[in-house]
Amino acid sequence: MVMSVETDVLRVLADPLRARIVTLLAGEALCTCHLVEETGARQTNISNHLRVLKDAGLVETEPCGRFTYYRLRPEALDALAGRLGELAGAARAARADDRKRPCT
């Protein structure tokens, strides 16, 4: 079963704008102004989504003068990918063994 932390991360990533932000941050560290330019979203909206991503442990911050850059934490995604890989492996094994619970 998917653990609560993983469920929370999946819920965070399910939002289309947050998913777009994560995709952009996968390529490079960006500040809020870059993300506003890339997404067309308002600065306050981007800031709120970045806070959610940071609280979920998916991004980290790097102060740079009066700006703050955001960087994706690959280890957070690695943990989720590993767990999803485990679930996929279990599903393959269940399919190969034709495992199904009998009805009563």
Q: What is the pLDDT along the chain (104 residues), one digit of tens a residue?
A: 444 567 788 899 999 999 999 999 999 999 999 999 999 999 999 999 999 999 999 999 999 999 999 999 999 899 889 988 998 999 999 999 998 899 98
Global pTM? 0.82
Give the angle subtended at the CA of 102 by the CAs of 100 and 104, to the nearest 5°.
155
Place of tokens 């289309």: 16
Q: Where would I find the beta strands (DSSP E) of 2-81?
A: 30-31, 59-64, 67-72
Nearest-angstrom CA–CA distance, 39 and 28 = 15
Q: Report yes or no: 26 and 58 within 8 Å, Cβ to Cβ.
A: no
